[in-house]
Amino acid sequence: MNYAEEYARRCVSADEAVKTVASGDVVDYGFFNGKPVVCDLALARRADELRDVSIYTAVSVPPIPAVINYPESFIYTDWHWSKLTRIMHQQVAPAYYSPIQYHRAPAYYRASEVGRRYRSWDYNRATMKRRRRWISICQAAPMDAHGYFNLGPQTSAASATIEAADVVILEVNPNQPVCLGGGEESVHLSRVDFIVEAPDDQVLFDAPVPSATAIDRQVAGHIMGHIHDGCCIQLGIGGMPGAVGAMIAESDLKHLGGHTEMFVDAYVDMIASGRMDGSRKAIDRYRCAYTFAIGSQRMYDFMNGNPALAAYNVDYTNDPRIISRNDDMISICNAVQVDLLSQVNAENMAGSQISGNGGMWDFVLGATWSKGGKSFICLSSTFTDAAGKVHSRIVPRFPEGTAVTIPRQMVDYIVTEYGAARMTACPSWMRAEKLIQIAHPDFRDDLIREAEKMKIWRRSNRV
C-alpha cells in the first residue's frame, strides 16, 4: 500500500465526511480529548435534515459539542458525566447518562448488544428499509511512516469502537501527543474510511490542576502512612489524589509503580522526582500503565513519545484480575457521600447526576485482590451548599434516588480529614461506629441517634 496515496484518497472535508450519517444512525464521538471538533461542527450544520441520531461519548470536554444545541436531531449520551456534561444538561439541552462497567467497554462495542444491534447491512432485504449504522468519529495524531495513527491519550475503547463501526472517520489533530503503549493505542490507515484534517490551532483541553485544600492534605496524610517502597499507585482526579501525588514526590519513597485508568499531572511529579520508576512491578515493569489522560499541557508534553508510560485499552488497565497482579496496589478514589451502612455514592447528589461510576468499581476490587493491596475511598467530612449551610457527607441513609457506586461488601478504607477507617469484614455496628468517628464532630451525635433508630448502634460501643 502506498500510504501517501491512500491518505490523499481518503482525506476529505468535514462536511463531506459526515454526509455518511443518516437519520437514526449511532455516532460514537470518541472519549475525552478524542472527541471530534471540526466534524462535530459539520454534523451540527446538518441538524435540519437529520432526526434521532444517537451521539455517544465519554467525559465531554471543551469545546461544547455543537450537536447538543439540536436535541430534536441528536440524542446526546455520555458514558461518564463530566462537569461540562452536567452544565449542558442543566443549561442547554438534555444529555443522558449510560452507566457501564468501564473495563468492559470494549466488549460492549465488540460483542454485546450495542455492537450486535448496529453492525448490519445497509438495508434489511425483507423490508427494504435502511438499517441504522454505527459510525465512529474520533481524533488521532498524524499518520506515521508505517501508516498508523496514534489515538493519543485516550486509548480506552477507541480501537474496539473502530472495529465495531460500519464507517470510520478520523479527525487528525497535529496537537495530539503520540502516546506509546502496550496495546491498541494506534489504528492503521486500512481501517479508516475518511480522514479529516483539523487546523493547527485545535489544541487539547488544558485542564486546570485542582488545588489541594488543607482538608485534602489532611486526608492525604492519613493515606501516606499506608504507602511504602514498591507500592503501585492508582490516583483518581481531584485535589485529594493530587495531594497524595505531591506528598509522594516530596517524600523519600522509592521504586513505586503506577497502574491507573487516568493519568494525571501528579504522575508527572512522581515520575520526574524519581519516586516512581516501576522497577518492582510484576507487569509493565519500568512503565506506568494507563488508559486515558486529562490534564495540563505540561502533562501532554511529558506524555509525548515517553517510553516511561504505556497506553492500554481499558479492558487491560481496568480488569480487576490485571490490577491485582500488581502487589501492594494502592487505589485512591473520591466519593460524594457514604451512609452508615458504608455504601458509597460517588456520582450523584440530590437526585442529579454529577459524575459517573467510571472505573472505581474496577480498582476497588482489583486493589483488594492484590497481595498487600488497599483501597482508599476519600471525602471531606462536610460540604457547604449554595445557601451557606454545612452538611455532613457521612449520612444515616442516602436520599431517595441516590445511586450506590460501591456496595458495602466491597469497601476497604473510608478516609476523611479525621482519619482512615477500615471496613473490611466488619459487622454493621462496627462500620457505623468507625464512620461516626471520622465524621465531623458537629454531626456525630445526630448520626448516633439515627444509627440507634436503624438498630446498628449500641451505646456501649461508643468510644
Read off the pLDDT of residues 69-123 as tens digits, 9 standing for 90 and up: 999 999 999 999 999 999 999 999 999 999 999 999 999 998 744 444 444 444 4
Residue with cell 445526630: 446
User: Does residue 352 sit in the same domain as residue 267?
Assistant: yes
In a domain, 209, yes or no: no
* Residues 282 and 236 grouped into a single domain: yes
pLDDT tens digits, one per residue of 290-306: 999 999 999 999 999 99
CA 379 to chain centroid:
18
One of 261, 417, 433, 450 is an active-site residue; which one?
261
Task: Verify that 109 and 218 share a domain, yes or no.
Answer: no
**CB-CB contact of 368 with 412 (8 Å):** yes
Phi, psi of 63 (to 5 degrees): -75, 160
The residue-averaged pLDDT of 421-426 equals 97
In this structure, the answer to whether residues 219 and 176 fall within a common structural domain is no
**Mean pLDDT of the 141-157 span:** 97
Distance CA 22, CA 15 (A): 13
**Whether residue 148 is found in the same domain as residue 282:** no
Residue 84, domain extent: 3-197
Residue 83 lies in a domain: yes
Judgement on whether residues 34 and 154 belong to the same structural domain of the protein: yes
Listed in sequence order, the residues at least 6 apart from 456 whose beta carbon sits closer than 8 Å to its beta carbon are: 340, 341, 428, 429, 431, 432
* 128 band by pLDDT with thresholds 50, 70 and 90: very low
For the chain, what percent of residues have pLDDT higher than 90?
87
Residue 346 grid cell: 460517588
241 shares its domain with 168 = no
At residue 131, the pLDDT reads 67
Q: Could you confirm whether 261 is annotated as catalytic?
A: yes
Confirm whether 407 is domain-assigned: yes
| Band of pLDDT at residue 319, cut at 50, 70 and 90 | very high
* 134/268 same-domain check: no
Strands 194-197 and 413-416: unpaired
Confidence label for 280 from pLDDT (cuts 50, 70 and 90): very high
Q: What is the CATH number of the domain that holds 380?
A: 3.40.1080.20
CATH at residue 10: 3.40.1080.10
User: What's the mean per-residue pLDDT of the chain?
Assistant: 93
Same domain, 174 and 30: yes
Alpha-carbon gap, residue 416 to 95, rounded angstroms: 32
Q: Which residue has the higher pLDDT, 118 or 195?
A: 195
- Both 178 and 258 in one domain: the answer is no
Q: Is residue 411 in some structural domain? A: yes
Alpha-helical runs (H) found in 62-143: 83-91, 105-110, 113-118
Residue 246 lies in a domain: yes
Residue 220 has pLDDT above 90, yes or no: yes
Which stretch of 181-185, 277-281, 443-447, 458-462 has the lowest confidence by average pLDDT?
Answer: 458-462
Total number of domains constituting the chain:
2
pLDDT exceeds 80 at position 244: yes
Q: Are residues 180 and 238 in the same domain?
A: no
Predicted pLDDT at 129: 54
Residue 244 inside a domain? The answer is: yes
182 lies in the same domain as 317? no
Rounded CA-CA distance 185/293 in Å is: 13
